[in-house]
Structure 1
Amino acid sequence: MDTKIFSSSESQSQRHNVPYIHKIGIPPKQDLLKEFKTTVKETLFSDDPLRPFKDQPKSRKLLLGLQAIFPIFDWGRSYNLKKFRGDLISGLTIASLCIPQDIGYSRLAFLPPQYGLYSSFVPPLIYAFMGSSRDIAIGPVAVVSLLLGTLLQNEFDPVHNADEYRRLAFTATFFAGITQATLGVLRYNKERLPLINRTMISSAITIALQQLKGFLGIKHFTKKTDIVSVMKSVFGSIDHGWNWQTIVIGASFLFFLLSAKYLAKKNKKLFWVSAIAPLISVILSTLFVYISHADKEGVAIVKHIEKGINPSSVNEIYFSGENLLKGFRIGIVAGMIALTEAVAIGRTFASMKDYQVDGNKEMIALGTMNVVGSMTSCYVATGSFSRSAVNYMAGCQTAVSNIVMSLVVFLTLKFLTPLFQYTPNAILSSIIISAVIGLIDYDAAILIWKIDKFDFVACMGAFFGVVFASVEIGLLIAVSISFAKILLQVTRPRTAILGRIPMTSVYRNIQQYPEATKVHGVLIVRVDSAIYFSNSNYTKER
């Protein structure tokens, strides 16, 4: 809002030495019901989504409706063999990355390995038909898997109460999808929430620390995620818990994975080296354990993975009782974090290719795929940054790359899961550690410090909360500080003095634009907030 205070104006006012005041007219009165309808429309449907349907024949309306719900009917009309070739290559590439990652991420969620593969079969298929991003790759991710596992094990023990734990995971996934789809229907179109950035570094460290169990071959490990408990468990097992064969396997392949990532980072054309490195590591380590019988020397292996595609889990979702509320609470938290990450990733790659991603369609697509996923033995899936980056670098053209990836996972579930029986847990830990290291972005934290000190405080609060307490405590701290920041911005709005940019009619903050000059005899003030009862006195005093 710009407020202009003139010390002098027209010649008549100057002669009488009376300041000229601009009067603001009172808006006309409106009917209460009409005003309410207008407010609701502007709040929920500001973009008027039904506008393209006006004055259209029924056949055209049907086609537009199908395209609105399933964007594949829109871009699919121009699909050709050249695009399919790019999608085929990128789909096969991300499939080689997702299969070992899915097995590892399911361990973060304390679920059997097949559930990670299930979650990369059904959800990507649904997203390919309903999503608006060409580059995003769908599946389980480390942060959401850790969060879900942490929250679920507070309710049920994943070992002694495996059935209840699994049912609660499906219930949480169902309500995560309901939350996402509801926000999409209500047009809750946010650019992105900052929480995922604030918790990303700390979550990456926490995830890496959790992998020390498999990396070192420790059998008895703490269920807590804070750094103090983890370090006590690690060093308390140094005499009788560590397995040197496991450490050699884990360290060797971790070095290989990090070297592959470094090579791909130095030469963008070698991105495929980093993409297939996890699968190569799994194959080589599995062969080594099978040939050397290292599992008899204490090297923990994956053992049995259920063969076959997703079984139905509709009857396992809690729709009543106290577990319904538990699943609802966990699902909202997991769904919001998953949604934030997916929308941010989708828009990041869309800006690189100069096309638009419809945030509302993304929310509905993500919500639908998680609702259906909860009924087909999947847990919360979302957009994966590492896979999406590989998908982008591999030259994907459309969401068909997700279909190709899903079909490869289908073939793996149908025929190849027995081959992973001798895969050592250490290699899965190494894959996860190498994946989450890329989430530790110091430059982002430094940039936040330079841009907004209050935001940096929220970032550090989330960091220490996650590392020294738990993921949910870190999120709570981030939300609390962000809410306090919003209240301060509303009740203490910033003001700026504007000046005119030379040779233009544009006015900008004179502190941000030193070349801007004040207009002689005029003070132009901008208040960076709406003025109402909570900040009116503060604005007046300023």
Structure 2
Amino acid sequence: MVASKKSTVENVVDIEDNKRGVWVVDPPAPPCMLSQVLDNFKHTLLPTPNPNTFLTATNQPFSKRLLALLRHVFPILASLQNYNYQKFKSDFMAGLTLAIFAIPQCMGNATLAQLSPEYGLYSGIVPPLIYAVLASSREIVIGPVTVDSLLLSSMIQTLKDPLQDSVTYTQLVLTATFFAGIFQVAFGLLRFGFLVDYLSHATIVGFLAAAAVCIGLQQLKGLFGIVKFTNKTALISVIKSVWTSFKNQSEWHPYNFIIGFSFLCFILFTRFLGRRRKKLSWLSHVAPLLSVIVSSVIAYRVNLHEHRVKDYKVEVLGPIKGGSINPSSLNQLIFDGEFVGPLIKIGFTIASISLTGSIAVGRSFASLRGYNIDPNREVVALGLMNIVGSFTSCYVASGSLARTAVNYNAGSETMVSNIVMAITVLMSLKFLTGLLYFTPKAILAAIILSAVPELVDINKAHAIWKVDKLDFLACAGAFFGVLFVSVEIGLAIGIMISFAKIIIISIQPGIAVVGRLPGTDDFGDVEQYPMAINVPGVLIVSLRSAWLCFANASLVRERIERWVSHDEDGKGESTFKHVIIDASSLMNIDTAGVTSLEELTKNMTTRGVKLAIANPRWQVIHKLRLANFVSKIGGRIFLSVGEAVDACLGVKLVTV
């Protein structure tokens, strides 16, 4: 009975001395899920509130507020704010170079997707125009890419054979493109762009280096004029194709190598010259386009007396089918029948892989220029362009690593290069397809190969190795996965290693004993700061994990109980009378975490030890209140560790 009265008196003293703890115990309820979803929409589509935004700057003229909103919705307006003739010249030359390179690539990718070549050209016009005005990236070049084309053909031909019914097959491809765009817009509006954050910097470095090597290896086909070449990007497959072609000399064209290698040296030399002498930097920008023109003239003269394309000594693009501007395909989309379910699954798969690769490319080149892209905005831009593209005879488009590398090395400044490229492709599709007839395939390979050295950054990989070995493992995993298997596998390996790193860190107990630093009111880890003073009778532990969950809750409870039990006196009683848990780093807690704290409270009570919580975060205290945990520990919730220690020492004095 006496013990019961004493306990009641102690709880009263605790609560009376903990007036500031009420601030922690009674906060407003955290925002609900619906509110968070609406906030995601608002933050993605509208500017963040500040004195200069359209929504809050009532003291600003309407025109300025409207301009601020337009710059947020259309980032290209911000990049054009300080635009000048020099930047336009760089963008214009880069756009022309991209167009010359994009035309054969777009047609080739369309063929991989089992579509007519003109669909590849259509996809190189509308999507880049839409993306250019909506995206935060300044370098990404949009168009059909090899990975998406191969995925589409492999998945959709299981629904309809393109050889037997090409019309229905094309309709299915366009419908899958529509669903891919819908999923991408949804990902962006729900702010799922954070998922690409798992593409760590180390993963991107490894991915970019390996992808550049694979792209370079693929260009050996055009550089040597190899007739039969693998569509795979894996190193072993490429080496086998090259070796087989060299053994059978009739399967490659030496003239292609002479032209391609010569102009590759010319492009690299002009780039070196431009770096050494800034006044000649324009020459490196013009070099790719100049190489195309001169090599086309050479190819024309060399092949002049040959009568058939297959007899040409220099392999050229050959005849390109011209056509009208993008026709409407709205009436070709299929939204009923047996194909809708499978097409939705295909759209989801394509959307996920497409946006992951595009964001990886965008982040890689943004880091080279020292700025950051907004993943959610990029995802929304990708989705909108694919939705509109599906209405205008375009199939899935995304960021192309090869074309982005060419764009970067051609000296582009803004997304105007994408606009120039799209307009040039449009004009070429309508009027100029005949002029591309004698463009050597080797020169296109040389342009891509010239961009490869810039993308392999050995110094960054070495720096990652010195700083964090697990990060380097992700870098190496992505590199070798892309190099020896495929782009998707390489990215998957890098992401899985990054996830594994997060899991390893999160499931570790993440707990440390804390003491007061001499001469201060601060507290620090006693292992990191050996001079820290332990408070007599009080065990202060700090939770260093962001989440107390099923994976680490038991480990945390067992660790605290072990520290308390190891400090028992000869009578089996603990010398600790109070345990204070510093929860300032704990961002969230689940039911397993709450249950673990309840068990800890019971076990501590049997030993005569009281539990207190210091500075719990918003979500944590909200869940502890819902679980009635606050009342179970007598309301011992404090604003800081210092206040918790003072209150515990005050209780101790009362009970003596």
Q: 1:471 aligned to 2:505?
A: no
After superposition, what is the alpha-carbon deviation per residue over 1:244-300, rounded to whole angstroms, capped at 9, x for unaligned?
Answer: 122222222222233233334445554433333222222122211212217533433
Partner Cα separation in structure 1 for residue 165 and residue 447 of structure 2: 25
Name the amino acid aligned to 2:484: F
**In the alignment, what sits opposite 2:90?**
90
Query: Higher RCO, 1 or 2 (CA under 8 Å, sep at least 6)?
Result: 1
SS in 1 for 2:320: coil
**In the alignment, what sits opposite 1:101?**
101
Report the RMSD for the aligned CA atoms in angstroms.
4.7
Q: 2:359 aligns with which of 322, 326, 340?
A: 340
Matches within 5 A, 1:69-80: 71=72
**In the alignment, what sits opposite 1:535?**
552
**In the alignment, what sits opposite 2:188?**
184
Q: 1:217 aligns with which of 216, 225, 248?
A: 225
Q: 1:328 aligns with which of 335, 343, 347?
A: 347
Distance 1:77-1:282 versus aligned 2 partners, 3 A rule: closer
Name the amino acid aligned to 1:253: F
**TM-score, normalised on structure 1?**
0.75
Partner Cα separation in structure 2 for residue 502 and residue 344 of structure 1: 46
Partner Cα separation in structure 2 for residue 255 and residue 162 of structure 1: 47
Q: 1:245 aligned to 2:251?
A: no
Following superposition, the deviation at residue 438 of structure 1 comes to 2.7
Partner Cα separation in structure 1 for residue 98 and residue 361 of structure 2: 16
SS in 2 for 1:438: helix
Following superposition, the deviation at residue 455 of structure 1 comes to 2.4
Q: 1:45 aligned to 2:39?
A: yes
Does the aligned pair in 1 maintain the 2:76–2:132 contact within 8 Å?
A: no
Does the aligned pair in 2 maintain the 1:243–1:298 contact within 8 Å?
A: yes
**In the alignment, what sits opposite 1:3?**
none
**In the alignment, what sits opposite 1:433?**
449
SS in 2 for 1:109: helix
**In the alignment, what sits opposite 1:9?**
none
Partner Cα separation in structure 2 for residue 501 and residue 129 of structure 1: 55
**In the alignment, what sits opposite 1:130?**
134
Q: 1:482 aligned to 2:482?
A: no
Partner Cα separation in structure 1 for residue 256 and residue 419 of structure 2: 36
SS in 1 for 2:548: coil
Distance 1:457-1:55 versus aligned 2 partners, 3 A rule: closer
Partner Cα separation in structure 1 for residue 219 and residue 185 of structure 2: 33
Name the amino acid aligned to 1:258: L
**In the alignment, what sits opposite 2:326?**
310
Partner Cα separation in structure 1 for residue 418 and residue 179 of structure 2: 24
Name the amino acid aligned to 2:252: W
Stretch moving more, 453-462 or 71-80: 71-80
**In the alignment, what sits opposite 1:235?**
243
Partner Cα separation in structure 2 for residue 154 and residue 78 of structure 1: 40
Q: 1:301 aligns with which of 292, 312, 316?
A: 316
Name the amino acid aligned to 1:261: R
SS in 1 for 2:283: helix
Identity of aligned residues (%): 35
After superposition, what is the alpha-carbon deviation per residue over 1:437-469, rounded to whole angstroms, capped at 9, x for unaligned?
Answer: 432222232233233322222222222222222
**TM-score, normalised on structure 2?**
0.63
Number of positions where the alignment pairs a residue of Structure 1 with one of Structure 2:
504
Matches within 5 A, 1:69-468: 71=72, 83=83, 85=85, 88-106=88-106, 109=109, 111=111, 117-132=121-136, 135-136=138-139, 138-140=141-143, 145-155=145-155, 163=166, 170-171=174-175, 173-190=177-194, 192=197, 193-194=199-200, 195-238=203-246, 239=248, 240-267=250-277, 270-293=280-303, 295=309, 296-307=311-322, 308-314=324-330, 319=335, 321=339, 324-325=343-344, 327-341=346-360, 344=363, 348=367, 358-378=374-394, 379-382=396-399, 385-386=404-405, 389=408, 396=414, 402-468=418-484
**In the alignment, what sits opposite 2:508?**
492
Following superposition, the deviation at residue 527 of structure 1 comes to 0.8
Following superposition, the deviation at residue 102 of structure 1 comes to 0.9
Partner Cα separation in structure 2 for residue 532 and residue 24 of structure 1: 25
Structure 1 stretches of 5 or more lacking a match?
1-19
Partner Cα separation in structure 1 for residue 348 and residue 418 of structure 2: 30
Look at both structures and tell me which one has the larger radius of gyration over its CA atoms. Answer: 2
Distance 1:362-1:486 versus aligned 2 partners, 3 A rule: same
Distance 1:72-1:333 versus aligned 2 partners, 3 A rule: closer
Distance 1:401-1:462 versus aligned 2 partners, 3 A rule: closer
Partner Cα separation in structure 2 for residue 269 and residue 509 of structure 1: 57
Partner Cα separation in structure 2 for residue 504 and residue 405 of structure 1: 63
Distance 1:46-1:451 versus aligned 2 partners, 3 A rule: farther
SS in 2 for 1:334: helix
After superposition, what is the alpha-carbon deviation per residue over 1:367-409, rounded to whole angstroms, capped at 9, x for unaligned?
Answer: 2122222333444133764366468x5655xx55644444344
Distance 1:484-1:469 versus aligned 2 partners, 3 A rule: same
Partner Cα separation in structure 1 for residue 496 and residue 79 of structure 2: 47
Distance 1:27-1:61 versus aligned 2 partners, 3 A rule: farther
Distance 1:541-1:328 versus aligned 2 partners, 3 A rule: same
Partner Cα separation in structure 2 for residue 439 and residue 291 of structure 1: 35
Partner Cα separation in structure 2 for residue 314 and residue 230 of structure 1: 40
SS in 1 for 2:380: helix
Does the aligned pair in 2 maintain the 1:104–1:431 contact within 8 Å?
A: no
Name the amino acid aligned to 1:251: F
After superposition, what is the alpha-carbon deviation per residue over 1:290-312, rounded to whole angstroms, capped at 9, x for unaligned?
Answer: 12217533433211223343333
Following superposition, the deviation at residue 185 of structure 1 comes to 0.9
Following superposition, the deviation at residue 231 of structure 1 comes to 1.7
Does the aligned pair in 1 maintain the 2:474–2:494 contact within 8 Å?
A: yes
Partner Cα separation in structure 2 for residue 423 and residue 507 of structure 1: 71
Structure 2 stretches of 5 or more lacking a match?
1-16, 560-656
After superposition, what is the alpha-carbon deviation per residue over 1:161-216, rounded to whole angstroms, capped at 9, x for unaligned?
Answer: 89487666645544443333212211235384335444222222222222222222
Partner Cα separation in structure 1 for residue 513 and residue 251 of structure 2: 65
